Amino acid sequence: MTKKIKKNIGGIIAGLVLVGGAAGVAWADVEGIPFTIRTGGSTNTPCPGAYSGYAKMTNGSALWFTPPTNASSGTFTDASSFGTSYVSVACVVRRNDLMAWCGTNTVTFPATNSTQYALTAYVKNTPPPPTNGQLLNLQVTWH
């Protein structure tokens, strides 16, 4: 009887994982985006503040992403590995009202597929790293 219960629980868990994946509950996109050296921002602006350059994640040729159906949040992460001197701010802007969310290297934000989002990583340290044109590893995951 114990074996039968374990089999049923294992089947239920596997089914839930498959249904969750098919329903679009979590979807991730990872891209290597070229870094552009261009100073901007201000210490008076909290999000993203002063920066030495950036990389904008694209959706094909567009800068705006629409989350998949049923997504209720997203996580944008700069997963670049340039060592301890590298500091970035992950910044997400909602298109319909320009609301912005920022965090050091990663940020989680509320999302809906009724609007679009721009995803930009701003580099805070004085380069290098990275050098102009060097790829940053950026990832968005929709939950």
Query: In the predicted model, is pLDDT for residue 35 greater than 60?
Result: yes
Compute the mean pLDDT over every residue in the chain, rounded to the nearest whole number: 84
Residue 27 amino acid letter: W
Distance CA 104, CA 125 (A): 12
| Look-up of token digits 């380069």 | 127
For residue 98, being part of any structural domain is answered with: yes
Whether the predicted pLDDT of 8 surpasses 90:
no
What is residue 36's predicted lDDT score, i.e. its pLDDT?
97
CATH code for position 76:
2.60.120
For residue 113, tell me if it sits in a domain.
Answer: yes
Q: How many structural domains comprise the chain?
A: 1
Whole-model pTM: value is: 0.81
Answer whether residue 71 is part of any domain: yes
